[in-house]
Structure 1
């Protein structure tokens, strides 16, 4: 995997990252002497929300005086994780559920956001020397959405309702699922077991995550679809978010992740980022996602403007 990441990075000309895309100046985040000139590479995964979160880190640490390099938009959770473990990325936002289930190999989620954070924080530090810090209130959990007309016609409001529809009228429950959701144990396979879905009856199309929203909204090929709960296309397309009434999906609160040696060498990084994480609610990140995915704005611009609006930085 390290070789694959290296090839991908090299192919994009980003061996050590590229420059931060927009300049910012100090706001409430003032220059920090301990971070002056410190070279920090920031990473993210390759979807809208992750790019926004990556840019928030970049602008914050730039205002604090660090020499920040941009290595956002890495393809897939495992590739970002590997880049961090091997020192190609110093810091990124990741999700507590992903850490607990995918990176640490646990099968059962921990019930509350705080308990899930503590569990992954303690285990990942002990097993891999990775530090989790500054958890945000935003919970980007997996979810299923329904075409609004289908949900109303079939009276589908919960995942139990969906499971019953699959088992009794599979055609009416045609579902689009993203590639990762289709195979992850915190995705469709685990959900099917939890809710007693007869997988032999499921009429399922595996598509790119970005296609799920419009295909479900159109309601022709797919009446239901797998999504991330904080995606701005859910309210924009009037999709019906189904209630996880058996509490299957883990909590996916965003938190900073970095190697222990980096965190210990630069403790001021967490201090700079904590006030930003505290403001990242589901409502806030959903709106920022919407500005990119529906209005077509650049993720870096959306992240910078929000940082300016909150007074953390100034536009330079």
Structure 2
């Protein structure tokens, strides 16, 4: 077994992109949809040709806790778990791997797959039994709809119904909703009197300063339509003048928002660990503009029929997966250098799902 320091180094290698935490980079790619997925699909073909193997296959052993060993489970009962290759997905994937092991399954670990579309292909081809997927990704990228559904339950219900035709079952979603948002430095919440997006329109024009990435700046569901939804015209002297909008790289958006010099508000992803480490406050999307990206366990329907106990396992875990929890877990990997498997085990152990073997 590799040492903890070696595993941490591997985690940093596999989850970082150009000096930025992969949680942010991959979230951006996830929202680009099919184009990004097509590139990743080509990578999957190359990997499959030589036998798909995870570059981060380590996952600690665990003994049962509230996740009990399944009575009468055959010794050779096997399930295959897959995930994408950014931090949050690696942690979620390892949570599934460790939980299934504790329940008595032999687990084939196909986490760390490059991209949303290749993971989807593994599921549709019955080459994987389980993954964690985002409702918005499935609806927009896989099912081809042009607009997401902001209501979390409606978005989940729509995806679950549609995917049933593909032989996939969506279990109840987690509270975690990895979508776009605007955030403000926490010390300015009281100073500016803002807790929700509609409050921005109440500020003097010179305080309506916003930092965003170039993609969010130009998306059909990005900054301009968001401002319109909240009664603010982009470029208007009495709305949000163009001089109030700054375009930065992802990391610089977070830093500028934290400093408050270039902008009071910055585009963020709601489960990014930097929200916690920089003490930013996410503004409530009170007009329900942003689509829902709740994560949920997705299983082969045939696998779930064969092992219905899997629903009991994931129904325990999902309610504990909140935005705040994943901010913390993502941060431990991206800034703390911990291995996703170790972080996943610690989450499961602290919640009593598994115990130390």
TM-score (norm 1): 0.79
Q: Give the Cα separation in 2 of the matches to 1:84 and 1:189.
A: 36
Aligned to 1:246: 287
How big is the shift at 1:57?
0.4
Aligned to 1:129: 167
Give the secondary-structure state (helix, strand or coil) at the position aligned to 1:92: strand
Give the secondary-structure state (helix, strand or coil) at the position aligned to 2:144: coil
Instruction: Tell me which of 169, 174, 182 is aligned to 1:144.
Output: 182
1:191 aligns with 2:230: no
Aligned to 1:291: 332
Change (3 A) 1:94 1:297: same
Change (3 A) 1:245 1:23: same
Aligned to 2:209: 173
How big is the shift at 1:148?
5.2
Q: Is the 8 A contact 1:141 1:249 kept in 2?
A: yes
Aligned to 2:298: 257
Structure 2: gaps (5+ residues): 1-37, 236-240
Q: Give the Cα separation in 2 of the matches to 1:88 and 1:57.
A: 16
Q: Give the Cα separation in 2 of the matches to 1:186 and 1:90.
A: 33
Structure 1: gaps (5+ residues): none
Q: Is the 8 A contact 1:176 1:216 kept in 2?
A: no
Q: Is the 8 A contact 1:174 1:223 kept in 2?
A: yes
How big is the shift at 1:303?
1.0
Q: How many residues align?
A: 310
RMSD (Å), alpha carbons: 3.5
Instruction: Tell me which of 70, 75, 88 is aligned to 2:114.
Output: 75
| Deviation readout 1:132-186 (Å, 9 max, x if unpaired) | 11322333332122345777776655434557989x669x73523275x567655
| Deviation readout 1:191-222 (Å, 9 max, x if unpaired) | 355345538937453635x5643353245666
Q: Is the 8 A contact 1:94 1:257 kept in 2?
A: yes
Give the secondary-structure state (helix, strand or coil) at the position aligned to 1:28: coil
Aligned to 1:315: 356
Q: Give the Cα separation in 2 of the matches to 1:221 and 1:74.
A: 37
